[in-house]
């Protein structure tokens, strides 16, 4: 599958089959995330794979959606602002940007492996920190449920290129 086809086929899955994700597919996804680019190559991320029943039960209250509870595993992408690059001209911290790039690598790699995912950023951050017992320097940025889709993609609603691109 070429890249454009992969991007067109990836969608936000909101229903998962109970089938477990094979370790080799998970390892592939994590390797793709590890190789994501980051500002000045500082790689200020940490990935938490939440797959045990105890850990999933602790994480699920962070995002109250029935479909979220169906996922066989979650990858929590965290940013470490203690090691992230800050732009010298304005002090802008790129931890969130770097974590977002890695999270999108996770979503695309999952799709390439025949798995579904969904980008979840509207979650209870303090509850997530507590559920994972995160150290102070790590901030969860994205929760990514991963598994085999039990739903079908809806028609994507995207702006036309003419609405979002300017040539100068």
Q: What is the pLDDT of residues 39-50, one digit of tens each?
A: 999 999 999 999
User: Of all residues in the chain, what percent carry a pLDDT higher than 90?
Assistant: 97
Q: Which residues contact 139 (CB under 8 A, 6 or more apart)?
A: 78, 79, 80, 81, 95, 125, 129
| Per-residue pLDDT tens over the stretch 67-126 | 999 999 999 999 999 999 999 999 999 999 999 999 999 999 999 999 999 999 999 999
Domains identified in the chain, total number: 1
For residue 85, the tally of other CB atoms under 10 A from its CB is 18
Domain enclosing residue 145, as ranges: 3-149
Please determine, for residue 20, whether its predicted confidence score (pLDDT) is greater than 80: yes
Question: What's residue 154's pLDDT?
Answer: 87
CATH number of the CATH domain containing 26: 3.40.109.10
Q: Within the chain, what is the greatest distance between any pair of CA atoms?
A: 54
In a domain, 164, yes or no: no
pLDDT of amino acid 1: 75
Beta-bridge partners for 140: 78
């Amino acid at each position: 599958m070429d890249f454009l086809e992969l991007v067109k086929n990836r969608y936000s899955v909101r229903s998962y089959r109970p089938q477990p994700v094979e370790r080799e597919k998970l390892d592939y996804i994590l390797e793709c995330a590890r190789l994501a680019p980051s500002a000045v190559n500082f790689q200020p991320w940490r990935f938490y794979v939440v797959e045990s029943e105890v850990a999933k039960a602790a994480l699920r209250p962070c995002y109250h959606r029935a479909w979220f509870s169906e996922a066989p595993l979650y990858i929590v992408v965290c940013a470490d602002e203690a090691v992230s690059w800050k732009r010298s001209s304005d002090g802008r911290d790129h931890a969130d940007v770097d974590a977002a790039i890695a999270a999108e690598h996770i979503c695309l790699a999952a799709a390439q492996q025949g798995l579904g995912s969904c980008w979840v950023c509207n979650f209870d951050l303090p509850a997530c920190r507590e559920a994972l017992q995160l150290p102070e320097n790590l901030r969860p940025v994205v929760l990514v449920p991963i598994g085999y889709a039990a739903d079908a993609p809806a028609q994507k609603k995207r702006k036309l290129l003419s609405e979002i691109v300017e040539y100068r």
